Structure 1
Amino acid sequence: MPPLRFSYRNRHIWRLRRRPCQEISLQSSSSTKSIFSSYLPLLFYPIHKAHRYDMFLSFSFVIYIVTFLQNRIMISKTRMISEVEMNYLNMMKNRNSCRDFSDQPIDEEVLQRLLEASVCAPSSGGFQNYSIIKVTDSEKKQTLAKLCRKQGFIGKAPVNLVFCVDLHRERRIAQSCSVLPNIQYDYESFIMFVMDAAIAAQTLCMAAEAEGLGSVLIGNIVTNQKQVAELLNLPKQVLPVIMVSLGHRKNKGTVSGKYSPSIMVHEETYQERDITELQAAWKEKYADWSIKPNEKLMSRIGEITKEYFGEDYAAEGARFIREKDWVDPFSFWYGYYYPNHEGLMTPEDHIKFLEEQEMTGYKKK
């Protein structure tokens, strides 16, 4: 094979030999342009002079260019995936519940995408033992608001989605095929059915956030399950367990305080945290909580605290609230808001309703 001599015609080959591939910077677009402008003539050189050695170098360079482009594409895809993951994590961290909706309706195509994402959520056994009731009727929304502890924003939300445990659909399908439906479910199954509905609801909330919509999970849908079931014409073995109010935000909202993983996560076994550490984390979490005491609050909180923990404990709690001039979250939610059962179902009512709906499998061992 004759030696390769430098000349005007083979100067690009000489440059390639002087600058091996590993020495060429591939990180910037300018480098890429330099590579193409310098070596592209090699692709046509064999046509001009069909020399075996020249052809070998030219085709080697073609392979190099193809490999280089493949690597660049893979790097770009990896970078893109990484950015998507980071954006999703930031979205999860910055999401906040929306209770102030605008009058702007939700586009039907957007809503359909949210529902498609929701039903793709994982479920126990893949059975998807839940159904979603979409409520947009103004009168029904107002009724739902009253049944859910009179939360007015529910009536103003463009869409309310009621997630229900649904064994009725499975039974119909099984019986139509003369196969055995899940009629002997136990407590474990009952809890998993509720979790499946909740997971689907949370999945929808995150999809809504990605679409730029606001959402809030409503657990109070269970406070008047029987009336909700009547309102939505639910058959037996269908039980409302959670609701999502959905719409466009009027304002951005603020992210509520959260405990850090150092408080929430335990290694291998449950670990008792130092009480000073817990108190510090609690104060940090509720640093923006600003409910002031008044006679109505203090009277109700005092009654509930005395009923459950005795007079001395109630007196100490009242002293703490007045001294701090601050109704703490525990006292507000557990001493005032949730114990108010006026017009709501009692625990006995719930048990009776479960029996009426033929949802008594939780009693089985």
Structure 2
Amino acid sequence: MNETIQLIQNHRSIRSFLDKDIDNEIIDEILKSSQAMPSSINGQQTSVIVIRDKETKAKIAHLAGGQQWVEDAPVFLIYVLDFYKTHLAAKKNGLTQVIHESVEGTMVGTFDSGLAMAAAIISAESLGLGIVPIGGVRKNPGELIKLLNLPEYVYPAVGLAVGYPKDNSHKKPRLPFETFKHEESYHTEGLEKAIEQYDTEMKGYLKEIGREQEGNWSKLTSGIYQYVYYPEVYPTMKEQKFSNDK
């Protein structure tokens, strides 16, 4: 195993940061790694908002549901679906963009943003930085869109808190590898047993980090997934012209 693979497989989320700034040059190199990732048809429908201002980070932390580490991190990155740039390209050529109105467009923009963020995560960790992704930027998206002055055809996908770690947090175990890798076709056999095994492992992990009240993986996940936990996403996507009706 080489150092890059070892780095990736040793990932853990960091929610406690040192009071130490990150040079602009370092952030730029991280974001150049993001920009270098592939995108559908080379549309490059991802942009990143870099937040350093303490007041703005505090507002975002509040909008994200009181996530203090958003405020504490010296830099907060917000990855956005950006079909405004492609809209301008269409306008330049006398054409009308439609892709942003479709579920396909939402999938393309979201997946490409994920690829870009993954590169940032690996790059940041290779430089000794810690990160934690923040889906909570979608909790109150309407207010965030106003705060960031996002034009139509642009929508916040996910945030990334970046900073120097105060400590190296516990590495969270994953589901058994056979639940992730499927040869030739999807295999349902053995999944229930594997989930049972993982629940036992996660119960021990959660007790170790002082979060035993969460129970285990299946209890926590199913408790959240029984409802739409960010219900403002759909109406605000429509306001940004992502109608998702095609």
Does structure 1 residue 240 correspond to structure 2 residue 156? Answer: yes
SS in 2 for 1:289: helix
Partner residue, 2:14 = 98
Matches of 1:256 and 1:280 in 2, distance apart?
15
Residue 352 of structure 1 aligns to a residue whose secondary structure is helix
Contact kept? 2:145, 2:156, Cα under 8 Å: yes
Q: 2:93 aligns with which of 178, 192, 212?
A: 178
Report Cα offsets for 1:227-253 as digits up to 9, x if no partner: 110111111111001111101111122
- 1:105-254 mapped onto 2 (5 Å cutoff): 105-175=21-91, 177-185=92-100, 186-254=102-170
Q: What is the alpha-carbon distance in structure 2 between the residues aligned to residue 127 and residue 276 of structure 1?
A: 42
Written as runs of structure 1 = structure 2, the 5 A alignment for 1:290-305 is 290=207, 291-293=211-213
Identity within the alignment, %: 25
Alpha-carbon separation, structure 2, partners of 1:334 and 1:227: 28
- Aligned pairs for 1:51-62 within 5 A: none
**Which of 327-336 and 165-174 deviates more?**
327-336
Secondary structure at the counterpart of residue 206 of structure 2:
coil
Deviation digits for residues 117-143 of structure 1, max 9, x if unmatched?
Answer: 111011111111011111111011011
For structure 2, the residue ranges without an aligned partner over 5 or more in a row are: none
- Please give the alpha-carbon distance, in whole angstroms, between the structure 2 residues aligned to 1:94 and 1:243: 21
- C-alpha separation between the residues in 1 aligned to 2:201 and 2:185? 25
Instruction: Report the 3-state secondary structure (helix = DSSP H, G, I; strand = E; otherwise coil) of the residue aligned with 1:287.
Output: helix
Deviations 1:257-296 (A, max 9, x none): 0123222211222212333343123323543112344xxx
Q: Contact 1:257/1:286 (CA < 8 Å) preserved in 2?
A: no
CA contact (8 A) 1:98 1:253 kept: yes
Give 1:168's aligned amino acid: Y
How far 1:160 sits from its partner (Å)? Answer: 0.5
Give 1:331 shift.
3.2
C-alpha separation between the residues in 1 aligned to 2:104 and 2:218? 30
Larger Rg: 1
Q: Which residue of 1 aligns with 2:240?
A: 357
Residue 244 of structure 1 aligns to a residue whose secondary structure is: strand
Are 1:141 and 1:155, in contact at CA under 8 Å, matched by a contact in 2?
yes
Q: 1:113 to 1:184 in 2, by over 3 A?
A: closer
The higher relative CO (CA closer than 8 Å, separation ≥ 6) is in 2
Q: CA 1:355 to 1:262, structure 2 compared with 1: closer, same or farther past 3 Å?
A: closer
> Residue 164 of structure 1: SS of its match in structure 2?
strand
**What are structure 1's unaligned runs of at least 5 residues?**
1-84, 294-325
| Residue 279 of structure 1 pairs with residue 202 of structure 2 | no
CA distance in 1, matches of 2:161, 2:225: 20
Contact 2:31–2:120, Cα closer than 8 Å, also in 1: yes
What TM-score comes out, normalization by structure 1 length?
Answer: 0.61
**1:259–1:285 contact (8 Å) kept in structure 2:** no
RMSD: 2.3
Q: Distance in 2 between matches of 1:329 and 1:184?
A: 36
1:287-316 per-position Cα deviation (integer Å, ceiling 9, x unaligned) = 3112344xxxxxxxxxxxxxxxxxxxxxxx
Q: Distance in 1 between matches of 2:226 and 2:166?
A: 27
Distance 1:206 1:228 in 2: 26
Secondary structure at the counterpart of residue 96 of structure 1: coil
CA offset at residue 216 of structure 1?
0.9
What's the offset of the Cα at 1:338? 9.0
Q: Which 4+ runs in 1 deviate beyond 6 A?
A: 336-341
1:328 deviates by 2.6
Contact 2:12 2:172 in 1 (8 A): yes
User: Whole-Å Cα distance in 2 between the matches of residues 338 and 110 of structure 1?
Assistant: 41
Please state how far the C-alpha of 1:173 moved relative to its aligned partner. 3.1
Whether contact under 8 Å (1:98, 1:249) holds in the other structure is yes
